[in-house]
Amino acid sequence: MSMNSFGHLFRVTTWGESHGPALGATVDGCPPGVPIDEAMIQHWLDRRKPGQNKYTTQRREADEVKILSGVFEGQTTGTPVQLMIDNTDQRSKDYGDIKDKFRPGHADITYFQKYGIRDYRGGGRSSARETAARVAAGGLAREAIRALAPNVQITGYMVQMGPNRIDRARFDWAQIEQNPFWVPDAQAAADWADYLDGLRKSGSSVGAVIEVVARGVPAGLGAPVYGKLDTDLAAAMMSINAVKGVEIGEGMAAAELTGEANADEIFMGQNGPQYSSNHAGGILGGISTGQDIVVRFAVKPTSSILTTRKTITKSGEETEIITKGRHDPCVGIRAVPVGEAMMACVILDHLLLHRGQIGTNRGHIG
Amino acid sequence: MSMNSFGHLFRVTTWGESHGPALGATVDGCPPGVPIDEAMIQHWLDRRKPGQNKYTTQRREADEVKILSGVFEGQTTGTPVQLMIDNTDQRSKDYGDIKDKFRPGHADITYFQKYGIRDYRGGGRSSARETAARVAAGGLAREAIRALAPNVQITGYMVQMGPNRIDRARFDWAQIEQNPFWVPDAQAAADWADYLDGLRKSGSSVGAVIEVVARGVPAGLGAPVYGKLDTDLAAAMMSINAVKGVEIGEGMAAAELTGEANADEIFMGQNGPQYSSNHAGGILGGISTGQDIVVRFAVKPTSSILTTRKTITKSGEETEIITKGRHDPCVGIRAVPVGEAMMACVILDHLLLHRGQIGTNRGHIG
Amino acid sequence: MSMNSFGHLFRVTTWGESHGPALGATVDGCPPGVPIDEAMIQHWLDRRKPGQNKYTTQRREADEVKILSGVFEGQTTGTPVQLMIDNTDQRSKDYGDIKDKFRPGHADITYFQKYGIRDYRGGGRSSARETAARVAAGGLAREAIRALAPNVQITGYMVQMGPNRIDRARFDWAQIEQNPFWVPDAQAAADWADYLDGLRKSGSSVGAVIEVVARGVPAGLGAPVYGKLDTDLAAAMMSINAVKGVEIGEGMAAAELTGEANADEIFMGQNGPQYSSNHAGGILGGISTGQDIVVRFAVKPTSSILTTRKTITKSGEETEIITKGRHDPCVGIRAVPVGEAMMACVILDHLLLHRGQIGTNRGHIG
Amino acid sequence: MSMNSFGHLFRVTTWGESHGPALGATVDGCPPGVPIDEAMIQHWLDRRKPGQNKYTTQRREADEVKILSGVFEGQTTGTPVQLMIDNTDQRSKDYGDIKDKFRPGHADITYFQKYGIRDYRGGGRSSARETAARVAAGGLAREAIRALAPNVQITGYMVQMGPNRIDRARFDWAQIEQNPFWVPDAQAAADWADYLDGLRKSGSSVGAVIEVVARGVPAGLGAPVYGKLDTDLAAAMMSINAVKGVEIGEGMAAAELTGEANADEIFMGQNGPQYSSNHAGGILGGISTGQDIVVRFAVKPTSSILTTRKTITKSGEETEIITKGRHDPCVGIRAVPVGEAMMACVILDHLLLHRGQIGTNRGHIG
């Protein structure tokens, strides 16, 4: 039992702090024979990398991943894969003036209260920098999925920034890669650019909602009660820094529906069951239906802002703080590849769990 | 690793089906010396029990719990506690006519696709009847918490039924026990009674949002990354039948806030840090702040309704179905004690985890 | 993480005390579709049952197993299987006179020191009666193995009782079921009967060594470092009451060998690799070779004897004790079916783990 | 669940291969505030380091540990500690000629059968080089124990090399550090030097028995059934490369004893219970008694010897092999610090588990 691990059979343990020498992911349980190299993982890391445009923190990190174990002659061996990323742009002096103050909205105070020790350098272990390790592990998971369930496609995108929501009528998968916000709506992307630039200049920040969809997931993944696919997805997404809510399918809005409006009717398609709608988000009773798996999560606004805020020091004195570090006006942007990575890890894990308990035979309909 | 277990040190494994001879919870890791007897657990079970008023299923179950192990002379021994509940009102013939049809919105189809076997009797393992075992385990958890953190109070209530929300200005803790919906708003309770009665008579159903608050939780519970208190709460609540969304503090609405509006400022109170507000829901960086822990979850409407719905059979033929069983017009009502039970289990688990890694000394402020 | 559980994917949690109302095993992760009923499990329980001959305790327990969940229409459903055994012959008054004294060699004193509570009724949770639950779980495991690896045969037998060892030259599988000691050597069985009868009459007891062999296990089961097949077997056997040593293949005697004498040479047989010998006990680097898996474990003598022994009371006074309960002169006898059950659980677990991570393709030689 | 992890709350995951760029241990769950630096861990690694005398492999590895995370300003922070050791003397060309042959007694063949992939460079993941990571983790565990149970002392030593056993009458703790075999018997150390030198020159190898003792362990550590202290110790020791048997206290010899001879009588000492003897090895019912914890394990002889052996190739052809690499004539020597490290990890883990479930209050006698 490790508090810094996730997954059952595909088991990822991340380690490292914002300003230590390195961070990484120790991945155990990957199937052997998966073709992988550093460039394949780097592809995903580059999407999360800071400093790529004016909307993300100006910390410059190469985020270069090294594979230290578990891969031989271009394939996974089935033994632990160590994915390490050196920290290169640490500038810990930036944080000297907040050494004894707790930043409101950050984990500074709770880490100190729990552990009696505070790594004041950029949040230490609580920094969102940890998510680089998840993205690396997710890159490996994607390649492993390819062998097991080649039709799976995992895509994340932003559907809300502050009060602004996308227009689902304009939804276009092709737009996602065309703008810095991963928004599937060209008009929204244009509008939000001005909005966020204004916030950035004023030293403020704003929250966002990210949606991650997994298409092509076979029916039958997940398990009862606490091994539900949606249970693991909820945990995976809520474990991402700054996330405050997670929804599957209709999500919180399911509360407003009647039974008639909510339950997806079932028909018989050429390749098995089909549904009239997907209010369920691809999961019934914790087990995948074969429809798209649809997860959304809300990311709160960065708490590092240029407005002066009231706080206290380690010795309990009241004081004020202003956070001048290099930060993101909307951390939700960089949460998109992180959400995708978590989805990939969960899907792979449940593919392996299902194969372990049941093999490949399942209940065949029709 | 058990898919039917939750918790790390306070580990609950539930077992049993809707229409088998019995169901229960095997609870390992409970501290020794906790005073407990069947009546103390029955108290909580009686709140979840079906058939208590016209708004819940008319299935009549005594839901009498028996303690089969782990308790000696009125105290827990520290060894596994087996909490068993006999099923007494099974009437499995009720389900004969849907034996080969999959009920839309239910887990019938996914269980069949996963396991190749369908226990058609009331949903088998996927039935919400499983939550009785959770409530029993939660009753034990509450007593164990009392010894470790006597100020903890856990209370659940309904804040939304269908499109109707409570008025927070009328919030009154004392009202919660005064109405069949566990609503902290007397006016809402009155209004919703008529609303739900109408739905019930028409054979329809509706969703709900439940809020569970834990007051008096000490600062410092939770752990980084995947052992976050909010991660475990999200998993715990999402694992409850029919839940489609989970929120901590501001929840999904955090996306709409700016950094200035969201981050709770910190002051120094007489007994430690205090906050200007609780947007965080009592959790920063996955660790409790000492403020109220606030969790909400959305329960979808019961899919068993009297309207005819399109579906398919096990052999893939299209057909129609109407579900005439004994069901709840708003299952959200009975989810209130279940949500409380899950909160209790998570809080106790993290009290034990914290004591295990760190003991009682923590970072003291001021 | 449950201290009363074992296995990774085939996960068994046992519960119950010697003199409580019942005990049992909660089994999660069993593959679905395994044909099973109570009689199939009873078959194995009957072999462990006390009171069957003069060499085992005269406590009379029917040890009748009930399946309370996880089985529908004669097959496992893939959800938790609850196997419960009622305690019927509890006679807890037998233990009244030792209520405040710690029996030397028993866990009375350590349970009290750990938990601060002592269930004095026959050892409570520390009683060997717990092993009935393991045997029930092992019975289920055997049936599940049949579907996955039909050639697997698991057989336990006694190879040493006190100072007496079997003569391997007389080893005869057919003898094992022909005598009350499960000895594969007819001459030894005859000789030991007199020896043990003498011990029994004098109120003494003696230890034993049990060997458990699994034949027909496919090559490739097990995993590196802490998931080794021999690691899990060592844990499984050491967890049985009164076991003080575990050996794989050569075991402790491996220390005496040279590299030339120890390493089994490899040849090519018709169905794959064959070996000149089996010093390894069927396991290399923690992974099965396809040879017989050979495990031995030593069971200490029952500490309940008719000789007066020095001990102390709960209040720390020195005193004497004599244990007049119903006990086994050689508990090793009843450890045979328990060792078989643990072997079955471990083999099944690793079959599932292997299938989960790797599927059915493996490195093919030749 | 990670096959390359051990421990429950103090959770160690090792990674890396014999000839990859690096190997290490990811340690989660360490208490915060433990004073630690690289030199303190290096102290223990230096004891296991190869190439220190003529009795161990001539591979030259600095085995320099780097702490990459989890330590800030000289203390553990409570978050994951990454301990990395670079491989510097890899010489993988040494292994070219055995690339397609399976070395008898090694894991080459089983890893290939399991994973379908063979890292032929020095055994890859199955190499005893992995134990360096355990020793590093054990070094950290020792420092953490110091704060929790300052009287604990963990010492390993060799008690048998090939057919030669120490004379317990000459047992002298002070001798252990005075000879290259960690033998507590000066006479044996002298005799065995000649014996092993002869074996080394002839290109042969021999097995050994190591004993590890933990003194000063408080009573009450361990838990029922599968969380027994001896269960975890058996697993910990059996997981070490080349180990074939594990004993607690009397071990396999317990089989020969009568109940009178085996059960340790209990007296009342000044500081609590005392025992007439320690046949139990400090553990009753899986829980520590407060006496010395005594564990022994047998290490088989290195299978890499200069004698030609029969084997097969990956394509199934029969052939011969001679292993000319740099190897240990008695790997048991270097297993001593590894056994100590495993003992330290298990003791710390159970200290934390006990504190988690029970706190500091225990059943007080007298």
**CA separation, residue B292 to residues A301, B143, B248, B283 (Å):** 21, 20, 11, 9
* CA distance linking residue C229 with residue C284, whole number of Å: 9
CB < 8 Å to D9, chain B? 353, 356-357
For A70, A101, A208, the CA distances from A242, given in Å and listed in that order, are 32, 20, 10
pLDDT the model gives residue B366: 79
Q: Which helix (H) or strand (E) holds B153?
A: strand B153-161
How far apart, in whole angstroms, are the C-alpha atoms of residue D147 and residue D36? 12
pLDDT score recorded for residue B93: 61
Q: To which residue do tokens 């299938």 refer?
A: C355
Does the pLDDT value for residue A97 go beyond 80?
Answer: no
Could you tell me the pLDDT band of residue A90, with boundaries at 50, 70 and 90?
Answer: low
Q: Choose among B137, B326, A289, A352: nearest CA to C352.
A: A352
Residue D327: what pLDDT? 73
- Alpha helices (H) in chain C, listed in sequence order: 38-48, 108-115, 131-148, 186-201, 229-238, 259-262, 332-358
The two tokens of residue B325 are 């069983």
Which two tokens mark B208? 């709900």
Q: How far is CA B41 from the centre of its chain?
A: 15
> Which pLDDT value is given to residue A305?
84
Confidence band, pLDDT 50/70/90 cuts, at residue A323: confident
pLDDT of residue D88: 87
| H runs (alpha helix) in chain B | 38-48, 108-115, 131-148, 186-201, 229-238, 259-262, 332-358
pLDDT beyond 80 at A212: yes
Q: Which chains touch C (3 or more CB pairs under 8 A)?
A: A, B, D
Rounded Cα gap, residues A218 and D298, in angstroms: 48
Write down the H helix ranges in B49-185.
108-115, 131-148
* Inter-chain touch C365–D225, beta carbons under 8 Å: no
Contacts of B352 in chain D (CB under 8 A): 356-357
Q: Is D276 annotated as a binding residue?
A: no
Please state the φ and ψ torsions of residue A314, each to the nearest 5 degrees. Answer: -60, -30
| Side-chain half-sphere exposure of C109, counting CA atoms within 13 A | 31
Q: Which two tokens stand for residue D31?
A: 């208490």
Rounded Cα distance, C254 and D297, in Å: 10
- Which helix (H) or strand (E) segment holds residue D191: the answer is helix D186-201
CB contact under 8 A, C115 and D301: no
What is the value of pTM for the model shown?
Answer: 0.97
**A170-193 pLDDT, tens digit each:** 999 999 999 999 999 999 999 999
Contact between A255 and B303 using a beta-carbon 8 Å cutoff: no
Residue C46's nearest CA partner among C327, C337, C344 is C337
Kindly report the three-state secondary structure assignment for every residue of chain A. Answer: CCCCEECCCCEEEEEECCCCCEEEEEEECCCCCCECCHHHHHHHHHHHCCCCCCCCCCCCCCCCEEEEECEECCEECCCCEEEEEECCCCCHHHHHHHCCECCCCCCHHHHHHHHCCCCCCCCHHHCHHHHHHHHHHHHHHHHHHHHHCCCCEEEEEEEEECCEECCHHHCCHHHHHHCCCCCCCHHHHHHHHHHHHHHHHCCCCECEEEEEEEECCCCCCCCCCCCCHHHHHHHHHHCCCCEEEEEECCHHHHHHCEHHHHCCCEEEECCEEEECCCCCCCEECCEECCCCEEEEEEECCCCCCCCCEEEEECCCCEEEECCCCCCCCCCHHHHHHHHHHHHHHHHHHHHHHHHHHHCCCCCCCC
A28 has pLDDT over 90: yes
Residues of C in contact with D109 (CB under 8 A): 266, 273, 284, 289, 365
Any A CB within 8 A of B114 CB: yes
Q: Does C248 touch chain D (CB under 8 A)?
A: yes
Sequence-separated (6 or more) residues with CB below 8 Å from residue B240: B131, B134, B297, B299, B335, B338, B339, B342
Q: Are D240 and D335 in contact (CB under 8 A)?
A: yes
Smallest CA-to-CA distance from B109 within B340, B356, B313 is with: B313
Spatial separation of the C-alpha atoms in residues B157 and B335, rounded to whole Å: 9
φ, ψ of residue A139 in degrees (nearest 5): -60, -40
Among C29, C32, C355, the residue with its CB nearest the CB of A355 is C355
Please give chain D's pLDDT, 366 residues, in tens.
899 999 999 999 999 999 999 999 999 999 999 999 999 999 999 987 766 777 776 666 789 999 999 999 999 999 999 999 999 876 556 666 788 999 999 999 999 999 999 888 888 999 999 999 999 999 999 999 999 999 999 999 999 999 999 999 999 999 999 999 999 999 999 999 999 999 999 999 999 999 999 999 999 999 999 999 999 999 999 999 999 999 999 999 999 999 999 989 999 999 899 999 999 999 999 999 999 999 999 999 998 888 899 999 999 999 999 877 667 899 999 999 999 999 999 999 999 999 999 998 678 887
Q: Tens digit of pLDDT for each residue in C223-256?
A: 999 999 999 999 999 999 999 999 999 999 999 9
Q: For residue C301, give the DSSP letter.
A: P
> Which residues of chain C, if any, have pLDDT below 50?
none
Q: Which of B76, B9, B78 is nearest to B357 (CA)?
A: B9
- Residue B213 φ/ψ region, left for φ over 0, alpha for ψ in the -120 to 50 degree band, beta for the rest: beta
Stated length of chain C: 366
How far apart (Å, rounded) are the C-alpha atoms in residues D5 and D23? 14
Q: What angle do CA C166, C167, C171 make, to 5 degrees?
A: 90
* Among the partner residues C11, C32, C80, nearest to B1 by beta-carbon distance: C11
- Tell me how far apart the alpha carbons of residues C169 and C20 are, in angstroms, rounded to a whole number: 46
A1/C358 Cβ within 8 A: no
Radius of gyration of chain A (CA): 21
Q: Environment class of residue B347 by beta-carbon count within 10 Å: exposed (0-12), middle (13-18) or buried (19+)?
A: buried
Cα separation, C71 vs B124, in Å, equals 10
pLDDT digits (tens, 9 = 90+) for A335-345: 999 999 999 99
Q: Distance (Å, rounded) from C-alpha B34 to C-alpha C129?
A: 25
User: Contact, C242 vs C127, CB < 8 A?
Assistant: no
Single-letter code of the amino acid located at A108 = D
Q: Which amino acid appears at position B231 of this protein?
A: T
Q: Whose CA is closest to C1, among B2, B4, A28?
A: B2
Which residues does residue A22 pair with via DSSP β-bridges, in sequence order? A86
Decide: helix, strand or coil at residue B289. Answer: coil
pLDDT tier for residue A320 given thresholds of 50, 70 and 90: very high
pLDDT recorded at residue B280: 98
Chain B contact for A359 (CB, 8 A cutoff): no
Residue of D1, D358, D361, D362 to mutate, interface with B, max B Cβ within 10 Å = D358
CB spacing of C16 vs B68 below 8 angstroms: yes
Do residue C29 and residue B3 have CB atoms under 8 angstroms apart? yes
Whether the CA torsion B57, B61, B66, B68 is positive or negative: it is negative
Task: Give the rounded percent of residues in chain C with a pLDDT score beyond 70.
Answer: 95
Residue in C358, C356, C354, C76 with CA at minimum distance from that of residue C217: C354
**Does ipTM come in above 0.85?**
yes
Of B87, B80, B98, nearest to B22 by C-alpha is B87
Cβ D339 vs Cβ D210: under 8 Å: yes
Q: What is the pLDDT of residue B62?
A: 83
Residue B30 has which token pair?
């409970």
- Res. A325 pLDDT band, cuts 50 70 90: low
- Chain A residues in contact with D79 (beta carbon < 8 A): 4, 15, 17, 124-125
Min Cα distance A78 → chain D (Å) is 6
Asked if D148 contacts D36 with a C-beta cutoff of 8 angstroms, the reply is no
Cβ within 8 Å, pair C130-D225: yes
Q: Report CA torsion sign: C121, C126, C127, C133.
A: positive
For C198-214, letters b (16+ CB in 10 Å) and e give: ebbeebbbbbbbbbbbb
- Amino acid of residue C149: A
Query: Rounded mean pLDDT of chain C?
Result: 93
Question: How far apart (Å, rounded) are the C-alpha atoms in residues C44 and C51?
Answer: 15
Q: Determine the Cα–Cα distance for residues A273 and A254; give it in Å rounded to an integer.
A: 23
C-alpha–C-alpha distance, residues B27 and C352, integer Å: 25
pLDDT per residue rounded down to tens, chain B (366 residues) = 899 999 999 999 999 999 999 999 999 999 999 999 999 999 999 987 766 777 776 666 789 999 999 999 999 999 999 999 999 876 556 666 788 999 999 999 999 999 999 888 888 999 999 999 999 999 999 999 999 999 999 999 999 999 999 999 999 999 999 999 999 999 999 999 999 999 999 999 999 999 999 999 999 999 999 999 999 999 999 999 999 999 999 999 999 999 999 989 999 999 899 999 999 999 999 999 999 999 999 999 998 888 899 999 999 999 999 877 667 899 999 999 999 999 999 999 999 999 999 998 678 887
Beta strand segments in chain D, E: 5-6, 11-16, 22-28, 65-69, 71-72, 75-76, 81-86, 153-161, 164-165, 208-215, 243-248, 266-269, 272-275, 283-284, 287-288, 293-299, 309-312, 318-321
Beta bridge partners of A273: A268
Could you tell me which chains touch chain A, where touching means 3 or more CB pairs under 8 A?
B, C, D
Let me know: does B158 contact B181? Beta carbons within 8 Å.
yes
